[in-house]
Amino acid sequence: MKVAILGATGLVGQRFVQLLSNHPFFEITALAASDNSAGKKYREAVQWRLNVPVAEKAGDMVLKKCTPDIDCDYVFSALPSDVAGEIEEEFANAGYIVFSNAASHRMDEDVPLIIPEVNLDHLKITETQKRKGKIITNPNCSTIGFTMVLKPIMDRFGIEEANVVTMQAISGAGYPGVPSMDIIDNVVPFIKNEEEKIMTESKKILGRLKDGKIYPANLDIFAQCNRVAVVDGHMLSITIKTQEKATLSEIVRAFEDFQPLKGMYLPTAPEKPVFYLTGVDSPQPKFHRDLGGGMSVSVGRLKQYSNKQFGFVALVHNTIRGAAGCAVLNAEIYNIFRG
Amino acid sequence: MKVAILGATGLVGQRFVQLLSNHPFFEITALAASDNSAGKKYREAVQWRLNVPVAEKAGDMVLKKCTPDIDCDYVFSALPSDVAGEIEEEFANAGYIVFSNAASHRMDEDVPLIIPEVNLDHLKITETQKRKGKIITNPNCSTIGFTMVLKPIMDRFGIEEANVVTMQAISGAGYPGVPSMDIIDNVVPFIKNEEEKIMTESKKILGRLKDGKIYPANLDIFAQCNRVAVVDGHMLSITIKTQEKATLSEIVRAFEDFQPLKGMYLPTAPEKPVFYLTGVDSPQPKFHRDLGGGMSVSVGRLKQYSNKQFGFVALVHNTIRGAAGCAVLNAEIYNIFRG
Amino acid sequence: MKVAILGATGLVGQRFVQLLSNHPFFEITALAASDNSAGKKYREAVQWRLNVPVAEKAGDMVLKKCTPDIDCDYVFSALPSDVAGEIEEEFANAGYIVFSNAASHRMDEDVPLIIPEVNLDHLKITETQKRKGKIITNPNCSTIGFTMVLKPIMDRFGIEEANVVTMQAISGAGYPGVPSMDIIDNVVPFIKNEEEKIMTESKKILGRLKDGKIYPANLDIFAQCNRVAVVDGHMLSITIKTQEKATLSEIVRAFEDFQPLKGMYLPTAPEKPVFYLTGVDSPQPKFHRDLGGGMSVSVGRLKQYSNKQFGFVALVHNTIRGAAGCAVLNAEIYNIFRG
Amino acid sequence: MKVAILGATGLVGQRFVQLLSNHPFFEITALAASDNSAGKKYREAVQWRLNVPVAEKAGDMVLKKCTPDIDCDYVFSALPSDVAGEIEEEFANAGYIVFSNAASHRMDEDVPLIIPEVNLDHLKITETQKRKGKIITNPNCSTIGFTMVLKPIMDRFGIEEANVVTMQAISGAGYPGVPSMDIIDNVVPFIKNEEEKIMTESKKILGRLKDGKIYPANLDIFAQCNRVAVVDGHMLSITIKTQEKATLSEIVRAFEDFQPLKGMYLPTAPEKPVFYLTGVDSPQPKFHRDLGGGMSVSVGRLKQYSNKQFGFVALVHNTIRGAAGCAVLNAEIYNIFRG
């Protein structure tokens, strides 16, 4: 299966390149970027910020423009939101299947916002799309971590209210992104549109598909977002009120039993989508962000406040599970269902 | 008024030295520390970690042992919790007035846990102490910031529930404290006993004095604590449910009107105990921790979720307002009332 | 004396605003910035990154364009190098005395590159300028620290060779400047043009004025520059070969005796231009950058390798002594001599 | 071949565990630590600080005491210097081959200080040891990076003088090691004994073996050491004077041709011991420390000052090539020669 990456030079684009080089299903046939970069070798155009070197083959590719004349089946979009909407539309209309990490189409009625472990069934609404191809999106990075840990609890006990405070990594802002003058010895309690995304996207993801439409989940969500001096890995301090009573051990079991993709051969799917850690001070970005190849959301510090109230901490690798990795997993699973 | 500092070599001890050198009411007559350090010059025994140099006079003092034979009236205790309880008891029994930052006596029935702007009336329960002197404590650093911003809202609208997630500075763990291997490129979602302190101390502080006893406030508090790579200044992401309806502007007014010490001459009291900031990304530790000389708690990012639900961010300088500065302010006000 | 600041919104511009608000000689009558910002209030146009709040009066000023129609005598330039050359020329031609921190004119034959403690006599070459006003520059930030510690040694023992490795703060790159993705958990061994500036500027500063011309000093300089995760304060690891034999104590004495401005009333001049520290691990940016109000260069870890070879560490506050503070001191001293 | 690790719980011990788990030649049969930890499971006793999880098998091992009654052939020592000397002596006298990262025996006349690529021939002086077993040491972390880049130049052009300024990672100080209060927003220009080690160890390593004795190399070395806020990877800014003239391209060729172990099957040896990078701002700890699995020393920013004077920057992963990895490579090569 031939694939292309749009916006390949950004931080999320770099993760796409990393995850799709040597992928068993997919072969990168094109890397595309802004008109400025088009025509240059990828290696020379990119400011590579990952701590594994760029794959030889990708490094040698000459960047294309983001126009729908690329020889491939799937397109992964890491485009910035201000241009993503239109370009993705062009590709989808031209017949490409677009897996997008951009926010532009996420809340469109006919576009699913997929985390395979959480709402695979939502894929069905792509049938209502009138494009020759399709647009399939993955959620915002924090939202992915947030909904992946809510889902197992919701399925068993229902959730009435969820309060989340994020401590987000600098890589979430791309490159050059956060100035060092702003974040060394500091916390910035504001990330543009982030709280809104968590509150609206989560309800769509956790919502119910009925008659070809998604009805948002009915729970209260309060989100406050902070930027901290961490390179990769968003931390989430969460408190919830369940609809039904639960015990600590029942919640733990819900996390551990949560393996909805078990048995499917999906190269990017982690063994444990939610990785429950017992350490007194776990999870931590530095030590746990790479669990499950960066595709597991780790959870720890579970506390019970009352028989319907719980607190815990979750960690999601924001550019792998929270961005490129989720899109790749979406493509892997789409590929199977299509076949 | 002669004062001594117990535990003068630690980080909070250093702040006491800074705040009490050149104080208009108080004169440091003795610095005391562990038996190991006693006998050495303060300058040589201390690993001074503040970015203002140690005052000449204090630097030249020879450290005493922490025994109640010091020539002074007031004693400020920055002792570690494992030894504070006993030593403070000895001093109080010997007739000294002890202003303590240690946790040991905070929850004692006859010991007030004072933030002058919040619960000055609680000072009265010192009358029930059977010591020749007195013990007066200030709360935990995060708790101080937390209760100072709850108080103005509580007084006007009542508070049913408060959810707080902290992002705490490394100076809160003292020196050597947090290993750099643990916190660079990391967040640690655990601080020993901190969540418990916030939940129990806050209820005492916000409680009601009746018949010489303090009845804890009746609200639900959920606290989750994190350590981040910030030198000074604890950030708190807070959501609350009020008892009565309120609007954003009413909450702002409550913060701005909150000046319970106005008109009293207290050198360490800030003009604005709660400093409301309108910047879209305020407060931030690096830029706002020193407001009001480190004695103001700054607040920002106020959001309304429903007519009884609000979110906001607060910042408290953990070793000034959150520790030494609060104790000094307690002493200043005690001094006035006594006179 | 009325003064204006060109490029007032940048990091160095902010330091000028800080140092010139409440200055005993100077009164800010205008702040100027790029055409983009002109017309806005300073407070709203600036992204203030200092940890002291912006002065009320400056905050309220409306930004002007950088055109030579400002009512003032002295102009301080914190303009970026790509525009500084021309704009400063316009102001100088129009009769203003321009004190510039920009690199554009530093190496011009008729422009002095002044550090008052080091080469005040070089001011004389301004007489060869054909402008109606004058341009007087201060050196690059690292160069200032470097030459200030070489000068006392050079005067007594001569210097044949100096090797300097810098570890420079992020504020040296302005704002937004260094991306956090580049510097957290990292060192960047490259700062554009910095090594060249140190090698060429130092020789001019340490050079000899003869017949209205400056003859560069005759010593070998090897410079390698690194960026590190420090907010303010450039560190320099220096080794030197002297021309004549010296002892450690003679070098220390040379540092301590170095007070060429003693007795002059210069508000910004520090008591000790070179502040020798004896601590085994001094100086350190976090603890010593503000010595002498940020105007002292601190020195420590002096070691002797042979009777003509020495090593030591120097620290200079890069935006105070290394930029705005040096220009202000230049203006103070020019003001005296003119009078 | 059975191997044991002494001091297995420290940071270097952890690297030994990582590098020796799944090693093709060696099998860990015992982990040993202080009497405090002995008897506990490794997983529970260790404060694991690497970002790859501890190997299952090692995690399950029960820690032994550091006494010479362990069933193995080779012993890797990551003991702290204050106890290493004696314990290593006991093991060597009992017949074990001890590969030590500790400083205790490094400068002993009969103990070789080996970097296989640099001075493999020095192994021969082990024959002069009177122990039943042997002690073979590897140098200090900075010294390893330093001598590995000097060696190729020395062999071709001779070196008269080398000046090195280090910027060293916090992991070099072990765990808990450097307090975060000391290093966030700071540089510490002092590391105990480090400058001395670089100056003395380097001369031994680069020295000549003659008649069963090592004669130290005859060059001047000036070293100044700094600690910076980097997790792993020591940076070195180096300037040298060669004995013979050289050009930039000759120096580059010397680096690239330097492959003294080529053709030997050594699992831990990197393809390029010295990895020359052409990027204008390379090497950087964050992006290049893991080159060659952490066993390559990367070099960049090569500059020529005169026909015998050069500057460049080197980077060494301090706990892999600079500690555990070097000892493992020493064992691999000893194993071959012995066979």
**Per-residue pLDDT tens digits for C156-170:** 999 999 999 999 999
Angle between helices A141-157 and A248-257 (to 10 degrees): 120
Closest CB to B290: pick one of C51, C184, C185.
C51
* Percent over 70 (pLDDT), chain B: 100
What is the predicted pLDDT for the residue at D339?
Answer: 56
| Beta carbons of A51 and D287 less than 8 Å apart | yes
Q: B187 to chain A: nearest residue by CA? A: A284
What is the predicted pLDDT for the residue at B298?
Answer: 98
Per-residue pLDDT band for D179 (boundaries 50, 70, 90) equals very high
> Which residues of chain A make contact with B178, given a CB cutoff of 8 A?
none
Chain C: give the shortest CA distance to residue B274, in Å.
Answer: 17
Block residue for tokens 């009497």 = D35
**What span, in angstroms and rounded, lies between the C-alpha atoms of A18 and A11?**
11
What is the predicted pLDDT for the residue at A22?
Answer: 94
Query: 3-state class of A163 per DSSP?
Result: strand
| Beta carbons of C181 and A177 less than 8 Å apart | yes
> Which residues of chain D make contact with B49, given a CB cutoff of 8 A?
181-182
> Which residues of chain D make contact with C224, given a CB cutoff of 8 A?
165, 237, 239, 301, 303, 311, 313
DSSP-derived secondary structure for D74-115? EEEE---HHHHHHHHHHHHHTT-EEEE-SSTTTT-TTS-B--
* Dihedral over alpha carbons D67, D19, D198, D129 (to 10 degrees): 40
Q: D51 to chain A: nearest residue by CA? A: A287
Read off the pLDDT of each residue in C62-80 and give the average, rounded to a whole number: 97
CA-nearest of A119, A97, A22, A164 to A339 is: A97
> Which residues of chain D make contact with B183, given a CB cutoff of 8 A?
180, 184
Per-residue pLDDT band for C338 (boundaries 50, 70, 90) equals confident
User: What does the block give as tokens for A100?
Assistant: 């997008």
> Which residues of chain C make contact with D161, given a CB cutoff of 8 A?
none
What is the predicted pLDDT for the residue at D281?
Answer: 97
| Beta carbons of A179 and C175 less than 8 Å apart | yes
Chain D: give the shortest CA distance to residue A286, in Å.
Answer: 7
**Among C141, C225, C317, C326, the one annotated catalytic:** C141
Relative to beta strand C213-215, strand C134-137 is unpaired
Q: What confidence tens digit (pLDDT) does each residue in C263-273 have?
A: 999 999 999 99
Is B141 among the residues known to form the active site? Answer: yes
The answer, yes or no, to whether residue D70 has pLDDT greater than 70, is yes
Among chain B, residues having any CB pair with chain D shorter than 8 Å are 11, 49, 170-171, 175-185, 229, 231
Closest CB to D51: pick one of A48, A53, A290.
A290
Q: What confidence tens digit (pLDDT) does each residue in B144-198 have?
A: 999 999 999 999 999 999 999 999 999 999 999 999 999 999 999 999 999 999 9
**What span, in angstroms and rounded, lies between the C-alpha atoms of C187 and B49?**
24
CA-nearest of C311, C330, C302, C282 to C116 is: C330
Q: B186 to chain D: nearest residue by CA? A: D231
DSSP-derived secondary structure for A105-137? TTT-TTS-B--HHHHGGGGGGGGG--SSSEEEE
Read off the pLDDT of each residue in D266-294 and give the average, rounded to a whole number: 97
What is the predicted pLDDT for the residue at B51?
Answer: 85
**Among D234, D288, D317, D326, the one annotated catalytic:** D234
Calculate the average pLDDT of chain D. 97
What is the predicted pLDDT for the residue at D37?
Answer: 96
Q: What confidence tens digit (pLDDT) does each residue in A211-254 have?
A: 999 999 999 999 999 999 999 999 999 999 999 999 999 999 99
Instruction: List alpha helices for A26-80, DSSP H.
Output: 42-45, 56-60
**What span, in angstroms and rounded, lies between the C-alpha atoms of A48 and A59?**
10
**Among B105, B122, B225, B234, the one annotated catalytic:** B234
Calculate the average pLDDT of chain A. 97
What is the predicted pLDDT for the residue at A202?
Answer: 98
Is B122 among the residues known to form the active site? Answer: no
Closest CB to A285: pick one of B165, B187, B301.
B187
Block residue for tokens 């708190």 = B236
- For each of the domains in chain D, give its residue range(s) and CATH number, in order of start: 2-140+323-338 (3.40.50.720), 141-317 (3.30.360.10)
Chains touching D, CB cut-off 8 Å, 3+ pairs: A, B, C
What is the predicted pLDDT for the residue at A337?
Answer: 83
Contact B310, B303 (CB under 8 A): yes
**What span, in angstroms and rounded, lies between the C-alpha atoms of D118 and D261?**
10
Read off the pLDDT of each residue in D298-306 and give the average, rounded to a whole number: 98
Contact C297, C322 (CB under 8 A): no
Give whole-number Cα distances, A291 to A19, A169, A297, C298, D39, in Å.
15, 17, 8, 46, 29
What is the predicted pLDDT for the residue at B339?
Answer: 56
Q: What confidence tens digit (pLDDT) does each residue in D249-269 have?
A: 999 999 999 999 999 999 999
The answer, yes or no, to whether residue A338 has pLDDT greater than 80, is no
Read off the pLDDT of each residue in B310-316 and give the average, rounded to a whole number: 98
Beta-bridged to residue A159, according to DSSP, are A242
What is the predicted pLDDT for the residue at D121?
Answer: 96
The answer, yes or no, to whether residue B319 has pLDDT greater than 60, is yes
User: What does the block give as tokens for A54?
Assistant: 């760029």
ipTM: 0.96
Q: What confidence tens digit (pLDDT) does each residue in C86-129 have?
A: 999 999 999 999 999 999 999 999 999 999 999 999 999 999 99
Read off the pLDDT of each residue in C302-316 and give the average, rounded to a whole number: 98
Q: Evaluate the CA torsion angle C252, C254, C256, C257 in order and state its sign.
A: positive
| Beta carbons of A187 and B235 less than 8 Å apart | yes
| Beta carbons of A51 and D290 less than 8 Å apart | yes
Chain A: give the shortest CA distance to residue B255, in Å.
Answer: 19
**What span, in angstroms and rounded, lies between the C-alpha atoms of D303 and D310?**
6
Contact A93, A56 (CB under 8 A): no
What is the predicted pLDDT for the residue at C339?
Answer: 56
The answer, yes or no, to whether residue A339 has pLDDT greater than 70, is no
Residue-level length of chain B? 339
